[in-house]
Amino acid sequence: MIEQQTIIAQSFEEEKAKGRLLLLLDDIEAATKQLSSLENESESLSTKLKDLEFHLDELNLEKDLLSTPPKPLSQAENEDAEGKFFPFLNSLENRHTAALGNIEGQKQLASELGHQLSRLGQQNKKLKAEFELVESQLKAEELSLRESNDTLEDLEIQLDEKVKENEYLLKRCEDLKEELDERNDTIQNSIIAQADQLREIYREKQQQLSDIRRRSAELRGDLARLEKQQQEDLQNTKQSVKRGSQVGAWRNERAILKNKLKTLKTQYLNEQKNIESSSKRDKELQYKFAKLLGEDHNNGECELARKCIIANIEDTNAVKEAPVANKDLEYERDYTIQLEGELSRIKKSIAVFTECRENQLKALNEELDGCTQKGYIKLLREEFADIQAQLNKLH
């Protein structure tokens, strides 16, 4: 805005200077014409003055001729001349009077012409002085105009540079706007895709958690059935223990089985703690969802969750196609790895339970035929009571 006002003021000053220059040029042209007219008039008067001086010289010569005495005449000529003398004398006197009048007129005219020539000379000098003043003003105005033109050219160059710079900045802004629009579209699509991916991962984790819970329930059922089967096997062993005879070997086998039961008990307790930890994590995750997104969070699939994810990604100014750092996703991954480890341990526990049951049944069947002594039956009852107490603690 300031540059435009400066340019307008400079253009106004230039127009004003041009107007003054045109007026000076008109004055100079008029003075030149007047000076030329005066010079022509002076030349004409000089010519007239020369003509009058030449005529005056002729009159003076004629006066001198008239003033010289005439030559003596002969008698005949004298008589003839006497008749012509007076008319000729009158004519000469008239001519002399006319010549004197003419001379006086010519002198007066010469005086007037000299006075007029002097006056015109003074006017000429005055006009020359004015012309020199106007010429100096013209030179000053031309110099000022030249400087103004130079300044105008510099301003035009600066204006062109500013225009080019503004055009470059405008083009750069348009390019940046297009790039920003493209990045916004890409980030928007990426956010939607990542949100869908996170929802899909959450569904998968929920499904895996449901499968793990179902599998845990199945394992609890298998454990209960295994305990029931062991009790039944123990009852059968009690009924047929009377036929047993190898007390020492039976004690060793029972000690081994007891240690295995302790190991199984420890594994069972660990699995139960893992299940409780998983349930606790589930509750914490639901609490976080409810705290962040409200009660109707729909497991992170509501509109507020989508807006939170978009705002989080926009605030971080992520680079195009950069991986999104998500603590919840890392937490879910760690939780999935932990659940997979727990599932693997549960499967191993089932295999150990199955192997233990088979080994126990095998050992009981081998010892069934020889276990008939009363001391051995008493020992079996003590072992049974111990096992029953351990099973009650497990429940």
Q: What DSSP string runs through 142-154?
A: HHHHHHHHHHHHH
Q: What is the DSSP letter of 273?
A: H
226, exposed or middle or buried, with CB in 10 Å at 0-12, 13-18, 19+? Answer: middle
Contact between residue 300 and residue 199 where contact means Cβ atoms under 8 Å apart: yes
For 300, left (φ over 0), alpha (ψ -120 to 50), or beta?
left
Assigned domain for 11 exists: yes
Assigned domain for 38 exists: yes
In angstroms, rounded to a whole number, what is the distance separating the alpha carbons of residues 299 and 209?
14
Q: What is the pLDDT of residue 325?
A: 45
Assigned domain for 277 exists: no
Assigned domain for 4 exists: yes
Q: What is the pLDDT of residue 318?
A: 47
Q: What is the pLDDT of residue 36?
A: 75
Q: What's the half-sphere exposure (Cβ side, CA atoms, 13 Å) at 84? A: 7
Q: How far apart are the first and last CA of the chain?
A: 88
Identify any residues that bridge with 371 across adjacent strands, giving them in sequence order.
244
Q: What is the pLDDT of residue 319?
A: 44
In angstroms, rounded to a whole number, what is the distance separating the alpha carbons of residues 260 and 281?
31
Assigned domain for 372 exists: yes
38, exposed or middle or buried, with CB in 10 Å at 0-12, 13-18, 19+? Answer: middle
Q: What is the pLDDT of residue 296?
A: 61
- Which of 57, 83, 99 is where one domain is finished? 57
Number of structural domains found in the chain: 2
Q: What is the pLDDT of residue 147?
A: 84
Residues of the chain with pLDDT under 50: 73, 75, 245, 318-325
Cβ neighbours, 10 Å, residue 156: 11
Q: What is the pLDDT of residue 110?
A: 73
Assigned domain for 41 exists: yes
Q: What is the pLDDT of residue 323?
A: 45
- Which of 13, 39, 57 is where one domain is finished? 57
Range of the domain at 10: 1-57
- Which of 57, 84, 99 is where one domain is finished? 57
In angstroms, rounded to a whole number, what is the distance separating the alpha carbons of residues 224 and 391?
10
Q: What is the pLDDT of residue 298?
A: 60
Q: What is the DSSP letter of 300?
A: G
Q: What is the DSSP letter of 298?
A: G
pTM of the model: 0.27
Give the three-class secondary structure for 297. Answer: coil
Quote the distance between the C-alpha of residue 299 and its chain's center: 40
Assigned domain for 150 exists: no
Assigned domain for 359 exists: yes
Q: What is the pLDDT of residue 279?
A: 72
Quote the distance between the C-alpha of residue 111 and its chain's center: 90
